[in-house]
Amino acid sequence: MIPNKKMEEMLNKQMNAEFYNSHLYMAMAAWFENQNLPGFASWMEVQAEEERKHALKFYNHLKERRGNIKVSQVPQPPANYKNALDVFQSALDHEIAVSKEINKMMEAALAEKDYAAVQLLNWFVSEQVEEEAQTDAVVQQLKMIGESRGSLMYIDRHLAKRKE
């Protein structure tokens, strides 16, 4: 069982934040499709799926502990970006902000002695390290190539290979 309303609200809030993350990455995928960069778009689609799985982790956690599940409205994600680097830099900044939220939740779960939530959040702490790293890797590549269209196409073909 979820120990109190505070934990229940936090878990619901993060579940909905993860649904938003999925939506955000789909909007980024759409932006890349519009730019005729299908590899980047496909990478973003895979990421959107990942984020949906994150939301379901919170959903199932609430379900198993008989918490009250509240799926809320998903806010409109940004649709306009300057270039590929701008998209990936925004994604990286967003992931860094998500990591901070996960850490805040971890502090609260520890304070409330909700060790089941701590266990769940441990997974998210590691996942955030991975997500920041994989997004930063693309940011670094995009910074390296500057304005080169040829190199952008090369990265696009490479990112198309991402499965999960």
131 part of the interface to Fe ion, by CB under 5 A: yes
Binding pattern for the stretch 68-107 against Fe ion, x by CB under 5 A and - elsewhere: ----------------------------------------
State the nearest-atom distance from the C-beta of 98 to Fe ion, in Å: 6
Q: Which is nearer to Fe ion, 18 or 156 (CB)?
A: 18
Is the Cβ–Cβ distance between 14 and 69 less than 8 Å?
no
The number of residues that bind Fe ion (CB under 5 A) is 5
Contact partners, residue 103, CB within 8 Å, separation at least 6 = 125
Is the Cβ–Cβ distance between 8 and 2 less than 8 Å?
yes
Of the candidate residues 40, 54, 57, 142, the single one contacting Fe ion (CB under 5 A): 54
Contact partners, residue 151, CB within 8 Å, separation at least 6 = 144, 145
- Give the distance between the most distant pair of CA atoms in the chain: 55
The residues of the shown chain that bind Fe ion, judged by CB under 5 A, are 18, 21, 51, 54, 131
